[in-house]
Amino acid sequence: MAELIRDVTIIGGGPAGLYSAFYSGLRGMDARLIEAREELGGKVCLFREKMIWDAGGQPPLQGETFRRQLIEQGKTFAPEVLTSTKIIAIRKNSQGLFEAQDHLGRVHLSKAIIMANGGGIVTPQKLRLQGAAVAEMDNLHYTMPSLATFTGKTVLISGGGDAAVDWADELSGIAAKVILVHRRDNFCAHEAQVEKVKRSGTDILLNVAIHRLLADGAKTRIEMVELKDTETGAFTRVEVDDVVVSHGYERDAALEFGAGSEPLRKDGHFFQGGADAATSVPGIFAAGDCLSYAGKVNLLVGAFQDAVNAVNRAKTYVEPDAHDRGMVSSHNERFKERNRTLIRQLADGVKAEG
């Protein structure tokens, strides 16, 4: 079966990519969204339990709720969505189409490309310990699951950055005991959060690192953690219910471009562009963390603005006679029938409550 030619292929399924998919549909573009990870949401997947306060028009909401809403919005116009699909090369063929080749050798054709791949494929750094496959332990966590999971438990957190300190703060008052260990003599997290954790009753152990995980008989759960003092070499053991590891992230940003198809970069990774989301290569645009320009807003709201600009530029690249920007949703024909349906549903809800 011949590969479908889409108007635009969006590389990356985080906030910038999902909003690009939504806005592409709003502008009548046939979009394909490709994400390397198993699930959509990008970095939001790493802080599902965190409260997000700085998204416009949204009351404070948890990361997981925000992620689900982004996905629902991104799929409004039924784009083609591919997950667990890593793009390894992008080139332009003799017909002027972009070819995005994935790790399975498949080639995805489109008239334009929107890069929304953030800092690359982000994976939490795993513990590097000798012995059993510690990654298989049921109570070893590299991202924070539901906070309720830790209610009344003894939780050891390893790490000295913002995420580790924030998790210790989040768990104070939920877990029965929180132990925060860091291999150095001071934290690299924001000092205000460090002071907050120090006052929370968290047990803080500095110059200490995880040396060994001691499992139960079935080798499925950690029962005890052996710690090593990085200065004296002395060992101590602590009983735990759960272990949370926050040692930073590994990034896979490997991506090849064909001759004449690679945009200019900044600092070896970021696409050097403008506030209009254009890169140095016609037909390739960028949005979100992977895009650099003067005045860049490195917040979620900035990713949405980048996405709108990238889609508008992609639209005029694919259709030169198209308007350079989309209509507001209240005037857009694509929402007319949907708006009528929603108004009817709201009216029916009011009647039911009355």
Nearest alpha carbon to residue 317 among 35, 16, 9, 4: 9
Q: Which residues are annotated as a binding site?
A: 35, 43, 47, 87, 289, 330
Reading the block at residue 5, the tokens are: 């030619």
CB 158 within 8 A of CB 243: yes
Q: What are phi and psi of 164, to 5 degrees?
A: -60, -45
Please report the sign of the dihedral spanned by the C-alpha atoms of residue 300, residue 301, residue 305, residue 307. Answer: positive
330 CB burial (10 A radius; 0-12, 13-18, 19+) = exposed
Q: Which residues are annotated as a binding site for FAD?
A: 35, 43, 47, 87, 289, 330
73 CB burial (10 A radius; 0-12, 13-18, 19+) = middle
Reading the block at residue 150, the tokens are: 């830790």
**DSSP H or E stretch at residue 340:** helix 336-353
Nearest-angstrom CA–CA distance, 58 and 51 = 11
Nearest-angstrom CA–CA distance, 179 and 24 = 47
Helices 300-318 and 15-26: angle between axes, nearest 10 degrees:
40
Q: Which residue has the tokens 């046939």?
A: 30
Nearest-angstrom CA–CA distance, 280 and 285 = 9
